[in-house]
Structure 1
Amino acid sequence: MPTLAAPPCVGGSEFAPLLRLAKERGLLDRRTGFYVRTITFNALALAATWAGVLLSGGSWWVVLLAVPLAVFSGRTAFIGHDAGHQQIARGRAANRVLGLIHGDLLLGMGYGWWNDKHNRHHANPNHVDKDPDVEVGALVWTRAQAVQRHGFARYLAKHQARLFFPMLLLEGFALKLATVLDLRRRPPRDRAVEAVLLAAHLAGYTALLLTAMPVGTAVAFAVLHHALFGLHLGCSFAPNHKGMAMPDGQRWGHLRRQVLTSRDVRGGRITDWLLGGLNYQIEHHLFPSMPRPHLRLAQPLVREHCRRLGIAYTEAGLVESYAQALRHMHAVGAPLRAG
């Protein structure tokens, strides 16, 4: 099972002083108490939401509970994300167990698939040939990708900026489909463990819904839950790299590779909570194993270090970060609209 360690520091003299300072400040130390509270609160919130579902009596009003369930499903994904980065526990085995519980069992989303994909993203963010997050899919990220699209895919690329947020409503379903398709590529032991947990998730989720409400209401609840969950996750990840530098042959060291391809999102504690700490994307990419609550403390150190070296450090408000990402997607589709 791959783990999300920081990539080797080529040309490490730029990064080494910053790493040393982060260690001296204790910013790479585990925050067990924070994660115990976070996991406990999230588990209680999920339990309370499902209790509300079961006590609803099958009324159509129960569909409204899909909204908080989507929000706390997002919190669950963030915990799985942190476990994959070895942020929570000291041992890899414990982090893996936490990742499997919060990914496969509670969300029906494959921890092994995500971990492998995300590890490759962290190693080469925004690199067209190496980062799976900018490979050709439903969306495209360069004009070269756009002009190769045909048929309906070409229509999507042409109008992807205005279709982006509606398409995120399908992301919750897409994540589960990708999980199932990837299972056959997992090592046999991992495949067996994840298959059992995914089956348990599906059985438990279906049983809870059909116990609490009629079939039609259950379908509406599941569709709304997954649509809002996908929208929430997409809105949490979209501001981080879209519209930032896309290296093509540059031999950047770790510091420049992570800083120049990432964007931080300004905001307060609410933004931190809603985005799961991913709004400190630059710090997170520089220090993948840094516990979430320390990213905010590392930010002024990283910002000042980049200022001294003359490296652009990009920050934007939440709305502006989306605007920058959408402008990039719109520009990518320009050749298709011109034709």
Structure 2
Amino acid sequence: MGLPLWSREDVAARILQGDVLFILNGNVIRVPQTWLEVHPGGVLSILHFVGRDATDEVEAYHSDETIRRMRGYIVATVNTLPDGWRPLQPPIHIGWLRTVKDGNLEWHSEATPDYSKENSPESPESQILLVKREDIAFTASGPSRDQIEPPPVPLSLKTQTEHSKAYKELHKRVKAAGLYDTPFFTGYGPEVVRYILCAIGSYLAYQRQWFFVSAVCLGALWHQLVFFVHDLGHLGVTHHWAKDRIVSIILADWIGGLSVGWWVHNHNIHHVVTNHPTHDPDIQHLPFFAISPAFFKSLYSSYYKRELTFDTFSRYMVAVQHRLFYVIMSLARFNLYRLSYEHLWVTRNDPIKARGGRWAWWLEVVGLVFWWYWYSNVVRGCGTWQKSLMFLLVSNMVPSPLHVQIVLSHFSRSTADLGPTESFPHRQMRTTTDVICHPSVAFLHGGLHLQVTHHLFPRLPRHNLLEASYLVKDFAKEQGLEYAEFGFVSGNGEVCSTLKGVADQLKIMDMVASAEIKEALGIKKD
């Protein structure tokens, strides 16, 4: 007997009953709770696509073998019509989750949707931000049917479907060109030589008590290894989860002191909800940065599960964020240590330890203990506290261009929420930009200056991104989509301009508020 044909109302009714459903090539995939809990990409990366056609995202982030396994969870088919599937609003986007209470799964309203545009007049009607609830509400009924109906969107479903179809053809061309094949010898061969030279340089300089040079070489090693770990985290090297994860743990945790489990969990969400103020952790940097006035509302983060409070300290920091940008970014690695340890602590009781397997969690913990042992001894071995402090700061500040380069690709791009109708390629190209550089210095960017292509094909080995980018540019031209790119210097200018623009808006708001207070108190203007 064939699969039943479900209408859009059938899908909506089952979502309201608690089913986690998404559309994959015209089929309805039902995600059981056991799958949701152990998904390597995390729970949220699935919940953001409930009620939506996730075909492009699924095929971009998963191997053919994994997609074949998903077919075992098909429960129905749907009629996508000529213009494509008309999406529903995922409950997570309006603050609803299903969590365990007293041993049972119940709907949980963790945040309140905010549809107002008072701080972001440029925001479209489709934009939904979340703000903190005064209380946590559990209910058997959950969201209403009206709530999971998306608000008006500024996009044409037909046009977005055409973008999606063209992207599928582009993906076929990328595969046919062999761009998923990892160039181990020509690609990673020179990279490994570079890693070894940095490590040897740091060791020899340390032995001669050239501690500054040693710290620079160690920082350079960490800087370069991050790019390799990034590839491994996307399964872009061996394309085998366990192999890539083991190597990435050795490099990130044992040598670099950072949790790759944290990075993968964080980075996956960044990729699926790029530049969304409420959902993307990679742009949630209060109290230090706000790249949109939307953050003035003290938004609720669906990733961190807390309010991003815009308090007095935040107001002060955001007002001067364009001046402190490089100072703060130079120390950004210290924040990554904090996030790493926090992630491992929070996930210590997960069913399979941070969705990577119990062995992976323990391998990370042992690796970080090992890192603390060797690195703390290296720092202390400098002799005086002044030299030790210098070594600590220099080794951690040298990789800072990496943090600057990462934000160049997103901070100056749109943070508007165009609703679930927006196609995968449209969203990625609207929120991401490339950094143009000469091939001779591409290694300093780790190949990730080609962020547009990387966001469209995250599992693609980065040494193949340049060749793939030519195909993407042709695709963008054919579809009338912007392929944004700028030089490193001009890109820095764009980011600083964005930060200054938000700071200026805050200044204007404060001036208006001050004038209104004076008027209310009857104080005459000077």
Q: TM-score, normalised by structure 2?
A: 0.60
Partner in structure 2 of residue 63 of structure 1? 212
Counterpart code for 1:2: P
CA distance in structure 2 between the partners assigned to 1:15 and 1:310 by the alignment: 13
**Structure 2: unaligned runs, 5 residues or longer:** 1-38, 46-55, 60-159, 299-309, 511-526
Q: Is the 8 A contact 1:127 1:248 kept in 2?
A: yes
Alpha-carbon distance between aligned partners in 2 of 1:120 and 1:183, rounded to the nearest angstrom: 17
The 5-angstrom pairing of residues 275-286 of structure 1 reads 275-286=445-456
Give, in angstroms, the shift of residue 35 of structure 1.
5.2
1:152 to 308, 313, 316: 313
Residue aligned with 2:166, SS: coil
Deviating more after overlay: 189-198 vs 170-179: 189-198
Alignment RMSD: 2.1
Is 2:405 aligned against 1:236? yes
8 Å contact from structure 1 (residues 109, 176) kept in 2: yes
Partner secondary structure for residue 168 of structure 1: helix
Larger radius of gyration: 2
Q: Distance between the aligned counterparts of 1:144 and 1:65, measured in 2? A: 43
Name 2:230's counterpart in structure 1: 81
Map Cα deviations across residues 214-253 of structure 1 (whole Å, 9 max, x no partner).
Answer: 4431221111211222x22212202111111223133211
Residue 229 of structure 2 contacts residue 248 of structure 2 at CA under 8 Å; is this kept in 1?
yes
Distance verdict in 2 for CA 1:255–1:178, change over 3 Å: same
User: Does the CA contact (< 8 Å) of 2:277 and 2:295 recur in 1?
Assistant: no
1:31 positional shift: 2.1
Q: Which stretch of structure 1 is more off in the superposition, 208-217 or 231-240? A: 208-217
Distance 1:36 1:242 in 2: 30
| Match status 1:180 vs 2:341 | yes
Higher relative contact order (CA 8 A, sep 6+): 1
Q: Is the 8 A contact 1:160 1:330 kept in 2?
A: yes
Give the Cα separation in 1 of the matches to 2:212 and 2:331: 18
Which of 258, 264, 280 aligns to 1:115? It is 264
* Distance of 2:187 and 2:468 partners within structure 1: 18
Whether the aligned pair in 2 keeps the contact of 1:146 and 1:332 (CA below 8 Å) is: no
Structure-2 residue corresponding to 1:2: 40
Q: Distance in 2 between matches of 1:111 and 1:153?
A: 29
2:327 to 166, 169, 181: 166
Report runs of 4+ in structure 1 exceeding 6 Å deviation: none
Deviates more, 1:231-240 or 1:42-51: 42-51
Q: Per-residue deviation at 1:36?
A: 4.4
Amino acid at match of 1:153: S
Q: Distance in 2 between matches of 1:120 and 1:325?
A: 22
1:46 is the counterpart of 2:198: yes
From the superposition, tell whether residues 191 and 107 of structure 1 become closer, same or farther in structure 2 (CA, over 3 Å). same
Deviations 1:301-338 (A, max 9, x none): 11111011111111111111111111111111223222
- Asked whether the equivalents of residues 381 and 388 of structure 2 are also in contact (C-alpha less than 8 Å), the reply is no
TM-superposition CA deviations, 1:11-69 (whole Å, max 9, x none): 4313111101111111112222245414532441232123223322x3xx421332232
Aligned-partner Cα distance in 2 for 1:40–1:228: 19
1:92 aligns with 2:244: no
Q: Write 1 or 2 for the structure with the bigger share of helix.
A: 1
**Aligned mates of 2:382, 2:284 — CA distance in 1:** 41
Q: Is the 8 A contact 1:14 1:255 kept in 2?
A: no
Tell me, yes or no, if the aligned pair for 1:146 and 1:157 is still in contact at 8 Å. no
Structure 1 residue identity aligned to 2:289: L
The answer for the alignment partner of 1:247 in structure 2 is 416
* Corresponding residue for residue 304 of structure 1: 474
Once the two structures are overlaid, the 10-residue window that deviates more, 118-127 or 236-245, is 236-245
Matches within 5 A, 1:12-27: 12-27=164-179
Tell me which moved more, 25-34 or 88-97.
25-34
Deviations for 1:161-216, whole angstroms, at most 9, x for unmatched residues?
Answer: 12111111220111111111111223442432211100101101122333454443
- What do residues 85-109 of structure 1 show as CA deviations (whole Å, max 9, x unaligned)? 1111131111001110111111101
* 1:316 match: secondary structure: strand
Say whether 1:325 aligns with 2:363.
Answer: no
Q: Distance in 2 between matches of 1:312 and 1:40?
A: 35
Partner SS state of residue 397, structure 2: helix
Give the fraction of aligned pairs with identical amino acids, expressed as a percent: 24
The secondary structure found in structure 2 opposite 1:14 is helix
Letter in 1 for 2:346: R
The residue number in structure 2 matching 1:264 is 434
Q: Partner amino acid for 1:8?
A: V
**Number of corresponding residues:** 335
SS class of match (1:7) = helix
Partner Cα distance (2:398, 2:507) in 1:
30
Q: Does 1:195 align with 2:245?
A: no
Structure having the higher strand fraction is: 2
Q: Are 2:195 and 2:224, in contact at CA under 8 Å, matched by a contact in 1? A: no
The one-letter code matched in structure 2 to 1:75 is Q
Q: Tell me, what secondary structure is at the counterpart of 2:165?
A: coil
**Partner of 2:302 in structure 1?**
none
Q: Are the aligned partners of 1:8 and 1:254 in contact in 2 as well (CA < 8 Å)?
A: no
CA distance in 2 between counterparts of 1:282 and 1:332 reads 25
The one-letter code sitting in structure 2 at the alignment partner of 1:197 is: G
1:205 aligns with 2:375: yes
